[in-house]
Chains A and B, each alone.
Chain A
Amino acid sequence: MQDFGAAFGEAFALIAGLDAGLMEIIGLSMRVTFSAVLIACVIGLPLGAVLAVGRFPGRHILVVLVSALMGLPPVVVGLAVYLMLSAAGPLGVLQLLYTPTAMIIAQAILVTPIIASLTRQVIDDLHGEYDELLRSMGANRVGMIATLLWDARYSLLTAALAGLGRALAEVGAVMIVGGNINHVTRVMTTAIALETSKGALALALGLGIILVGLSILVNAGLMGLRKSAERLAYA
């Protein structure tokens, strides 16, 4: 198991040397992940809130469905997006296959159910508390959802972080739709997969350590932000 020691060595050497290739890959990972989570939030937050607040036929089925989709296998999503974006597919004319955009689409599809489902949970609880008040104020559904989302914003950050974690760690979907093309669509996870298949296990593990480190940094940063903002806003 001398690989672990070597892995930390590799990780340290890459970081200390500000390896240009590594920086490029990290940059792309971050851009793809954050874009995907942003899109997933734009869709998932209101969708989750509607599922919590709305009363329409089929709501329960939809709730179960969205919850089940949290377990979407990345490879299946990757394949589905590939078939859509392939030149032979219905959206082939957009020429998005093997671009970061394709990776963002695939990850947004993976992350949206997570954010929608966790949002539904959070908003459901808060709705129980606010429902009578907001209805007595004559708030309409849109106003009600906006109020609930805003007041739950710190809890919803956790939902966004869960989505971020999923997107950052995911390899199956981005590998298929991105193609792991050097300098174009290579991200941390696909680089790790490539180095593993080359048998460069220490380097692969080193990249993995860096990825975990990045994930810790992102989480710590956002949670710190939440803590200080929360202190200012309410108890």
Chain B
Amino acid sequence: MPEPISRASHLSVIEAGVKPPAVALHDVVLERRGKALVDGLTLSLSTSGTTVLMGPNGAGKSLTLRLMAGLIAPDEGRVRWNGVETTPSQSVALVFQKPVLLRRSVRANLKHALKTYGVSRIERPRRLEKLLEMGELENLADRPARVLSGGEQQRVALVRALAARPKLLLLDEPTASLDPQATAAIESLIRMAAQNGAKIVLVTHDRGQAQRLADEIVFLNHGQVAEVTPAQRFFDAPQSQEGRDYLDGHLLL
């Protein structure tokens, strides 16, 4: 089993106290219609830094993310957070490729999130203003969330995830359909969350984005971990044949 990379120097926990949960998948199998989409996957994540999941389509990246979020249960094997099998849901947040925003204003979306995350009524207005500011959404606050542009919507979705003050932030191709400017805005929010001590797990096909954000790369293929490598080393010299082929643009079958 590959050893997770630790970069303690990068940590700057602003909310003192709780550390990100250490997520560990052990021999996880996930089947759909008789086909093993995740096939004996074992992975142990460090509690800090940014881990980027890469791999070809169908490698099981999104499913792995959902397993980490506790949204789906494995058919075989175990997923553990800090050694137990119960999701610490309040400290885990997930951002989808296609943002799912409620049919309400931006402000109401964030209010709903703060309420759902159990933020006290008294604290909500202050937190709400901070979130709007963080996402540069002040001018959009009272617009219906679902009429915003794709980039704006994803900003709302990401800021909404941050409303949880997540210790573990899971992102599933959050910038897949966004222009460079919108992508940059999302990346800067992700960086901010990382600097605040959140553990980031990001799925992306964007090599540049992976290089900009990743501390380590987890390369998946056929529902298994092909390699876990520090980011810089991965892009210079991937350790697995699959990783080499992927970076060279070969079709992985």
Contacts and interface: CB of A to CB of B under 8 A. Distances in A.
Decide if A and B touch, CB cutoff 8 A.
Answer: yes
A129 B117 contact: no
Given A132-B71, A138-B90, A234 B146 contact: yes
B104 A233 contact: yes
B105 A233 contact: yes
Interface string B105-134: 100000011001100000000000000000
Interface in B81-106: 89-90, 92-94, 96, 100, 102-105
A201 to B, nearest CB: 49
16 contacts: A129-B100, A130-B102, A132-B66, A132-B96, A133-B96, A136-B71, A137-B89, A137-B93, A137-B113, A137-B164, A151-B104, A233-B104, A234-B104, A234-B105, A235-B144, A235-B146
A135 interface: yes
A220 interface: no
Q: Determine the main DSSP class of B at the interface with A.
A: mixed
Given A137-B117, A234-B105, 8 more contacts: A134-B116, A135-B71, A136-B69, A136-B93, A138-B89, A138-B116, A147-B112, A235-B146
Interface of B: 66, 69, 71, 89-90, 92-94, 96, 100, 102-105, 112-113, 116-117, 144-147, 164
Contacts of A139: 116
A27 interface: no
A143 interface: yes
Interface of A: 129-130, 132-139, 143, 147, 150-151, 233-235
Contacts of A147: 102, 112, 116
Contacts of A137: 89, 93, 113, 116-117, 164
A135 B90 CA distance: 11
Contacts of A129: 100
Contacts of B113: 137
Contacts of B71: 132, 135-136
Given A138-B117, A151-B102, A151-B104, A234 B89 contact: no
A95 to B, nearest CB: 45
A234 B147 contact: yes
A229 to B, nearest CB: 12
